[in-house]
């Protein structure tokens, strides 16, 4: 098995949920420690709290991967009598790095809100509120036939060849003849100075997100045998990725508001929830869901035709505005995002098996929900 650095796991993750998708000011990424070190055990959690840090110490974890960033506000001092500061000190003392993926994970194509929508059984889902759009480019490169497989592999590893959430390793190849004459100070991989050459070559085409341009060019130059590779990069105008908060979809069959609220309570394992409705017996089928504190986005749910909106931390005055719009709202709390522990652990384990990584992924057993109900 292959021993890896923290950077190896995070590089793979950031291809799945790039930091560029995060909302402005959201402190995503490495928060504590270093990723430039070997990792053998990763603890996945929703929140980084003192009891979670103690769990990581006991489990001998090298990295905590969290959804909620551990440092939302700058520390005013480093006095360890403060429990929060002591938590940071314990992390540093035990060489435990902390990485957080917050709003970038929320909006990722198969990220937090997709997991929540799947959990409640929504079909035909779509983004509730688009927050980011990502343009694509196309690379065309010419290589000798003997090098085409190595070139495709290098470009794919760099992030090229993904089309939508369900297709990867996509490329197109056609064979032809390349012609050139090395002159002056050339040092050709094929042929001799001042002699015309004809070489059987493959024309390879792949698409990639614009943000990966530098990585794709680096992969091309590293894998290409020629001293002067021939390639073109085009801007694509007919393909774009959209990312955003929340998901909207349809239940398989209509349910009453009260029955659906009870179902949500069971699915997420919460001991209590709040809901707003003018008619508990109303049959509903079209549902919007957005993890976290997303009450202010309810107009987007209405625009998508949602009859019910599920989100956490709904404020009193916003609740009145929602009712005035005849929108039914279910508030099961912020902690339903703990679904990320299972999903991220599954994702990291899958990557580990595919890449033959020598790393163990564990889910935090600590319940960090601060609320109790009586």
Q: What is the mean pLDDT of residues 20-47?
A: 97
Using 50, 70 and 90 to split pLDDT, how confident is the model at 87?
A: very high
In a shared domain, residues 51 and 74: yes
- Looking at 241, 270, 286, the residue that finishes a domain is 241
Asked if residue 191 has pLDDT above 80, the reply is no
Which of 37-41, 69-73, 203-207, 283-287 has the least mean pLDDT? 69-73
Question: What is the pTM for the complete model shown?
Answer: 0.88
Residue 116: domain span: 107-131+243-336
**Residue 186 pLDDT more than 80?**
no
Within this chain, do residues 43 and 63 fall inside the same structural domain, yes or no?
A: yes
Q: Are 120 and 138 members of one domain?
A: no
User: Tell me, what's the pLDDT at 179?
Assistant: 87
Kindly state whether residues 120 and 194 are assigned to the same domain: no
Tell me what percent of the residues of the chain surpass a pLDDT of 70.
100
Check pLDDT > 90 for residue 193: no
User: What integer pLDDT is reported at residue 101 of this predicted model?
Assistant: 98
- pLDDT exceeds cutoff 90 at 44: yes
- Indicate whether 11 and 96 sit together in one domain: yes
Residues 52 and 121 grouped into a single domain: no
pLDDT bracket for residue 184 (50, 70, 90): confident
Q: Label each residue of the chain as H, E or C.
A: CECEEHHHHHHHHHHHCCHHHCCCCCCCEEEECCCCCEECEEEEECCCCHHHHHHHHHHCCCEEEECCCCCCCCCCCCCCCCHHHHHHHHHHHCCCEEEECCHHHHHCCCCHHHHHHHHCCCEEEEEEEEEEEEEEEEEEEEEEHHHHHHHHHHHHHCCCCCECCCECCCCEEEEEEEEECCCCCCCCCCCCCCCCEEEEEEEEEEEEEHHHHHHHHHHHHHHCCCCCCEEEEEEEEEEEEEEEEEEEEEEEEEEEHHHHHHHHHHHHCCCCCEEECCCCCCEEEEEEEEEEECHHHHHHHHHCCCCEEEEECCCHHHHHHHHHCCCEEEECCHHHHHHHHHHHHHHHHHHHHHHCECCEEEECCCCCCCCCCC
Write the CATH number for 74. 3.40.1390.30
CATH number of the domain bearing residue 155: 3.30.70.120
The structural domain count of the chain equals: 3
For the stretch 349-360, pLDDT in tens is 999 999 999 999
Question: Span 101-109, mean pLDDT?
Answer: 96
pLDDT of residue 292: 95
């Amino acid at each position: 098995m292959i021993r890896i650095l923290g950077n190896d796991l995070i590089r793979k993750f950031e291809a799945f949920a790039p930091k560029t998708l995060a909302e402005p000011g959201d402190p995503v990424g490495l928060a504590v420690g270093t990723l430039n070190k070997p990792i053998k055990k990763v603890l996945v959690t929703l929140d980084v709290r003192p009891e979670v840090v103690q769990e990581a110490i006991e489990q001998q974890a090298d990295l905590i991967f969290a959804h909620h960033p551990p440092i939302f506000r700058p520390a005013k001092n480093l006095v360890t009598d403060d429990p929060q500061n002591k938590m940071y000190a314990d992390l540093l003392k035990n060489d435990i790095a902390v990485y957080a993926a917050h709003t970038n994970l929320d909006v990722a194509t198969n990220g937090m809100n997709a997991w929540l929508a799947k959990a409640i059984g929504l079909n035909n889902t779509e983004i509730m509120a688009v927050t980011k759009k990502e343009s694509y480019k196309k690379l065309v490169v010419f290589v000798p036939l003997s090098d085409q497989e190595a070139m495709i592999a290098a470009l794919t590893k760099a992030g090229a060849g993904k089309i939508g959430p369900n297709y990867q390793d996509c490329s197109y190849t056609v064979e032809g003849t390349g012609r050139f004459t090395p002159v002056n100070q050339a040092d050709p991989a094929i042929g001799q100075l001042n002699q015309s050459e004809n070489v059987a070559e493959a024309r390879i085409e792949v698409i990639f997100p614009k943000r990966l341009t530098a990585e794709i060019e680096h992969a091309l130059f590293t894998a290409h045998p020629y001293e002067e590779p021939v390639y073109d990069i085009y801007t694509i105008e007919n393909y774009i990725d959209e990312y955003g908060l929340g998901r909207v979809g349809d239940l398989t069959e209509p349910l009453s508001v009260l029955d659906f609220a009870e179902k949500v309570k069971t699915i997420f394992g919460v001991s209590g929830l709040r809901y707003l409705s003018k008619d508990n017996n109303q049959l509903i089928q079209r549902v919007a869901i957005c993890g976290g504190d997303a009450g202010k986005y309810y107009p987007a749910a209405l625009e998508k035709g949602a009859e019910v909106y599920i989100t956490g931390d709904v404020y009193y005055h916003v609740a009145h505005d929602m009712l005035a719009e005849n929108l039914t709202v279910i508030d099961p709390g912020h902690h339903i995002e703990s679904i990320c522990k299972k999903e991220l652990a599954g994702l990291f384990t899958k990557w580990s098996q595919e890449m033959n990584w020598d790393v163990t992924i564990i889910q935090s057993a600590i319940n960090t929900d601060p609320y109790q109900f009586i």
